[in-house]
Structure 1
Amino acid sequence: MSPESTGQNEHYISVYRRRFRAWRGDRPFWAGLFTMAGGLPIAYFPYADLHLGNMTLAMSTTAGAGSLIIGILLITLGFTMWFHHIVRVFAGVAAILLALISIPVANIGGFVIGFLLSLIGGALSVSWAPGVPQQDGEAQPQTGEAPAGERDPLAKDFPYEERPAGELQPAAVPQQQGPGFDPVAGSEAGGHRAG
């Protein structure tokens, strides 16, 4: 009998799968995939011929070049969502607009298939947000508030101090020491000032 080591001899397919999963998690992967899948029927159908026995149906329209341009732009936007995800909102809005334009131009948006796929891909791209990496063993707060130990750096400029329960109360304001007390100078300046 020989002991088997599971840590050293990992299969290369599982390593590639883990790398692909990490790559896919850092970008709007499904948005790009739906957008590219929507661009294919929009670009293909105006140039396709349907054969029914000896009869050939040509689905080409007068706007075949427009369909091809819309389809190629949608495929390009899908790749942009994958490899340049900083502009994902622009790419999503452009994909939605091109999907809407494809209805009158490209055979009802690639017979509605390309229209729906591009619309879903654009909406997923606009709504995607990158995840926040977790600290070592710390759970991220579910609310939009900062953790209890952290304070807003601008909060020190405001005359509020924090109670132990997290409530804010006005800071103690120095009481006037007499009729001519100047709070800036911190001493009494007499009854009136010389002007």
Structure 2
Amino acid sequence: MSAESPGARERISHWRQSFRLWRWQRPFWAGLLTLLGGVPIIYIPHANPSLDQLYFRLATTSGSGSLIIGVLLFVLGLTMWFQPHSRVFAGVAAILLGLVSIVVANVGGLVVGFLLALVGGGMGVSWVPAKDRPSPGPKHAAGPGGEPDPAAPEPAPAGADDGRNGGRRDT
């Protein structure tokens, strides 16, 4: 190994920092939960669980319905990751598919897939990029350590004359 090439520890550290930056720029956890919500919805109707020698089947009236819902949830989770600007559409669609899965896919993949799709879709709808988040106002201004900033201006009491309306008090 040459002195110029980075070691394994530096490469891993760089990869972790790159992944962290990528994850912060999109609704990562919303996409992950939506992806995971599709797994039980697809798996449970097509599995052959057994208890000792007793085989039973959790089949739906339409096994393809659960397959379609699960694949669509998987695609919506990937959409939240790779096209974060369409997160609201993907979140609403995930919520609707989660609700439909109750009827079509064995009570939403035995409730697990339903809950994951609902929570992931809700997180996708509510996620806001960092540049669009409102900044805290002067009332919430805090200095280092979370204490109120003494340099922050105090809000004027209600009805006080601040000189902007010609000395009139609005009541």
Q: Report the TM-score, using the length of structure 2 for normalisation.
A: 0.74
Q: State the alpha-carbon separation in 1 of the partners of residues 137 and 120 from structure 2.
A: 28
Residue 143 in structure 1 maps to residue 142 in structure 2: no
Cα offset, 1:17, TM superposition: 0.5
1:143 Cα deviation from its structure 2 partner = 2.2
1:64 aligns with 2:58: no
Return structure 1 stretches of 4+ with deviation > 2 angstroms.
167-171
Q: How far apart in 2 are the matches of 1:127 and 1:87? A: 12
**TM-fit CA distance, 1:63:** 1.7
- Residue matched to 1:93: 92
Write the distance in 2 (CA, Å) between the matches of 1:65 and 1:130. Answer: 36
Cα distance in 1 for partners of 2:55, 2:135 equals 62
Q: Higher relative contact order by CA 8 Å / sep ≥ 6: 1 or 2?
A: 2
Q: Which has the larger radius of gyration?
A: 1
What amino acid maps onto 1:35 in structure 2?
T
**168 and 111 in structure 1: CA distance in 2 versus 1, 3 angstrom threshold:** farther
Identity value in percent? 52
Find the aligned partners of 1:84 and 1:168 in 2 and give their Cα distance: 49
Is 1:169 equivalent to 2:127 in the alignment? no
Equivalenced residues, count = 137
Cα distance in 2 for partners of 1:63, 1:29 equals 32
Specify the alignment match of 1:24 in structure 2: 23
Residues 43-75 of structure 1, C-alpha deviation per residue, up to 9 Å, x if partnerless? 111111111111111111212111100000000
Structure 2: tracts of 5 or more residues without a match: 1-5, 139-161, 167-171
For residues 8-157 of structure 1, the aligned pairs below 5 Å read 11-132=10-131, 141-143=135-137
Q: Per-residue CA shift, 1:88-131, capped at 9, x if unaligned? A: 00100000000000001100000000000000000000000001
Aligned-CA RMSD value: 2.2
- Deviations, residues 140-180 of structure 1 (Å, cap 9, x unaligned): 94129xxxxxxxxxxxxxxxxxxxxxx57369xxxxxxxxx
TM-score, normalised on structure 1? 0.65
Q: In structure 2, do the counterparts of structure 1 residues 170 and 124 end up closer, same or farther at CA, with 3 Å as the change threshold?
A: same
- Mapped to 1, the partners of 2:82 and 2:22 lie a distance apart of 10
The structure carrying a bigger strand percent of its residues is: 1
Find the aligned partners of 2:163 and 2:126 in 1 and give their Cα distance: 35
